[in-house]
Amino acid sequence: MSHVALDLDVDFPRRRLSGSATLLLERVDPAAAAVHLDTRGLSIERVESGNGSGWSRARHELGAPDPILGAGLAVDLPRGHDRVRIGYVTGPNASGLQWLEPAQTAGRRHPFLFSQSQAIHARSWAPVQDTPAVRITYEAVVRTPPDLVVLMGAAGNTTGERGGTYRFQMPQRIPAYLMAIAAGDIAFKALGPRSGVYAEPPVVGRAAAEFADTEKMMAAAERLYGPYRWDRYDILVLPPSFPFGGMENPRLTFATPTVLAGDKSLVALIAHELAHSWSGNLVTNATWSDFWLNEGFTTYIERRLVEEVYGADAAAMEAVLGRQDLEDELARLDDRDEILHIDLVGRDPDEGATRLPYEKGALLLRSIEELYGRSRFDDFLKGYFDHFAFQSITTADFVAYLRAHLVKPEAGGAAGALPLEEWIERPGLPSVAPRPVSEALGRVARAADAWSAGRTDEARRAFPTWTTQERLQFLRRLPTPLPPARLAELDAAFALSSTGNSEIAFQFLLMALRAGYTGADARLEEFLVSIGRRKFIKPLYEELVRTDAGRVRARAIYARARPGYHPIAVDTVDRIVGAPA
């Protein structure tokens, strides 16, 4: 497929999209007699093929559903026909859509809908070739109740005008996992001449203040890696049930409200999603086994943007904490999941979405930077993005380009110091992997060691002035588990049970579970019921179910929380706690 035209009605009472998808096709094989599409939970109402001058019924077959892939849809394509039109209805539990009742939103007056298509969830709301190897342009007409706003990751988003019918165009070619839709009571505030933020009216002001540096990030990225090629960069802050930190839909990043800390301390997430405009959206992994090409590059660029806008110290702290996250992952992952070029045969690609492709991939790129120098590596990356622009590539494509333009084996020297095969094809980290250093976090670590030894004055004095990253380092440095009495002392000193910072709250609640500290029980339940971000809820449920009593408690909390979680989060937690009867 090369172009998709959607014509959809948004039906909140029945929790479904209904309408049609018209696909324009390219015959890569002139002898091909059928087109094969992906679906999951779609009701197919009619299928037609056409040649531009008319339509006729098309023979088609919907295969048996696979628990991971859904059901394949094969459509006969007569000679001379280059398009198919499919009438369909989504299921009420589509894995790529979440339907929220008014009570689950910030405004509490209107329902809300949003999509999450990565990795293979686009097929649950449109019959498409749902692989990152195939790139398309798309257009859409979407109808919804007139008091709601519809947005898509495309041109055509309004700045607040409402009317019930909305039209969109995406002129740049993207894979289907980057298709995105949202509908609800949504307001807009401009951040600059080509950027802005959308959110529910009670949230949009806070979001605009938090993301005020977006244009600075865009300018920094263009200086380093070449022009921004998507015209606009807008951000939609979703309700807290959104299962991820962010999703890099071109033109319209989806973001969790859990990054609205009030002090810009968590806006590295915006740097990350913006960086995807080059790594991931412009140059895309061709398969989900190559996921590190998206996320490792993006994590590396994210930290370069943080350094450009907020300084080297801020970037160093993010890198140190990232290395800690990676080491935690390596301690629990199987060998097969510690490989950058991961084998996902027979597996759900969501299983590869650990911190490993992000952090190990970023360390590989930082290793190359240190070997060849930042200026030379920046030039290489700019050339890489230009060369592969709007293409989907494999790990082998990247390695070939790297060897042709930077790491030339025959040159010896630095090339011999870069064990590429070990980085990409073997578990764990090479011994030469960089170990980022932060002087600020070093000072915090010493304060944490003093606290552990009973000398609390320095931490009590400094904690209120520390950044989120410094506070995280302090908490992570403390012994695990702390005795409950010491955790109570910590809670009393710094009001950790009542903090509004989601990162600090998560870290403290994890420590509380490990210590058996009951003073945080009420906050734990409130946190798990009100937030659906998988990064937070998955480890907390995993910690809960380690004991019989904790499993009972986890099930009781989950019974309350589950109706508000996104289907992707539900699938994750069902596997931990068990699906309700």
Asked if pLDDT for residue 409 goes beyond 90, the answer is no
**Whether residues 232 and 357 fall in one domain:** yes
Asked if pLDDT for residue 99 goes beyond 80, the answer is yes
Q: Does residue 156 contact residue 166 with C-beta atoms inside 8 Å? A: yes
Last residue of a domain, one of 176, 207, 231: 176
When pLDDT is averaged across residues 229-258 and rounded to a whole number, the result is 97
Q: Does any domain span residue 445?
A: no
**Whether residues 229 and 128 fall in one domain:** no
When pLDDT is averaged across residues 106-111 and rounded to a whole number, the result is 94
CATH number assigned to the domain comprising residue 543: 1.25.40.320
| Segment 207-220, tens digit of pLDDT | 999 999 999 999 99
Shortest CA distance to 136 belongs to which of 276, 286, 5? 5
Asked if pLDDT for residue 484 goes beyond 60, the answer is yes
Asked if pLDDT for residue 411 goes beyond 60, the answer is no
b (16+ CB within 10 A) / e for 408-440:
eeeeeeebeebebebbbeebebbeebbebebeb
| Segment 282-341, tens digit of pLDDT | 999 999 999 999 999 999 999 999 999 999 999 999 999 999 999 999 999 999 999 999
Sequence-distant (6+) residues with CB within 8 A of 85 are 20, 21, 22, 23, 47, 48, 49, 50, 55
Q: What is the pLDDT at residue 159?
A: 84
Band (414; pLDDT cuts 50, 70, 90): low
Asked if pLDDT for residue 172 goes beyond 80, the answer is yes
CATH number assigned to the domain comprising residue 128: 2.60.40.1730
Band (408; pLDDT cuts 50, 70, 90): confident
Q: Does any domain span residue 468?
A: no
Q: Which two tokens stand for residue 113?
A: 């809908």
Q: Does residue 187 contact residue 236 with C-beta atoms inside 8 Å? A: no
| Segment 443-455, tens digit of pLDDT | 999 999 999 999 9
Q: Does residue 93 contact residue 567 with C-beta atoms inside 8 Å? A: yes
* Residues with catalytic function: 273, 358
Q: Does any domain span residue 436?
A: no
Q: What is the pLDDT at residue 415?
A: 60
**Whether residues 220 and 341 fall in one domain:** yes
**Whether residues 145 and 240 fall in one domain:** no
The domain of 225 spans 189-425
Residue 113's DSSP bridge partners are: 99, 183
Q: Does residue 124 contact residue 36 with C-beta atoms inside 8 Å? A: no
**Whether residues 549 and 495 fall in one domain:** yes
Residue 581 vs residue 328, higher pLDDT: 328
Q: Does any domain span residue 123?
A: yes
CATH number assigned to the domain comprising residue 317: 1.10.390.10
Q: Does any domain span residue 463?
A: no
**Whether residues 193 and 154 fall in one domain:** no
User: What one-character DSSP code corresponds to residue 417?
Assistant: G
Dihedral of alpha carbons 564, 248, 361, 506, sign: negative
**Whether residues 302 and 218 fall in one domain:** yes
Q: What is the pLDDT at residue 422?
A: 96
Q: Does any domain span residue 253?
A: yes
Q: How many CB atoms lie within 10 A of CB 570?
A: 21
| Angular region, 212: left φ>0, alpha ψ -120 to 50, beta rest | alpha
Has this prediction a pTM greater than 0.85?
yes
Q: Does any domain span residue 438?
A: no
Sequence-distant (6+) residues with CB within 8 A of 222 are 228
**Whether residues 23 and 109 fall in one domain:** yes
Asked if pLDDT for residue 416 goes beyond 70, the answer is no
**Whether residues 18 and 75 fall in one domain:** yes
Q: What is the pLDDT at residue 68?
A: 95
Q: State the number of CA atoms in the 13 A half-sphere of 326 facing the CB.
A: 27
**Whether residues 35 and 85 fall in one domain:** yes
Q: Is 96 in a helix, a strand, or coil?
A: coil
Last residue of a domain, one of 362, 395, 425: 425
Give the span between the Cα atoms of 120 and 179, in whole angstroms. 11
**Whether residues 256 and 224 fall in one domain:** yes
**Whether residues 197 and 245 fall in one domain:** yes
Last residue of a domain, one of 176, 202, 231: 176
Element (H, E) at 453: none
Give the span between the Cα atoms of 273 and 301, in whole angstroms. 10
User: What one-character DSSP code corresponds to residue 66?
Assistant: B
Q: Does any domain span residue 444?
A: no
Number of domains in the chain: 3
Sequence-distant (6+) residues with CB within 8 A of 71 are 39, 40, 42, 62, 63, 64, 65
Q: Does residue 508 contact residue 494 with C-beta atoms inside 8 Å? A: no
Q: Does residue 425 contact residue 399 with C-beta atoms inside 8 Å? A: no
Average pLDDT, the chain: 96
DSSP labels, 464-482: GGS-HHHHHHHHHHS-SSP
Asked if pLDDT for residue 412 goes beyond 60, the answer is no
Q: Which two tokens stand for residue 377?
A: 């590596």
Q: Which two tokens stand for residue 435?
A: 């170990």
Q: What is the pLDDT at residue 556?
A: 96
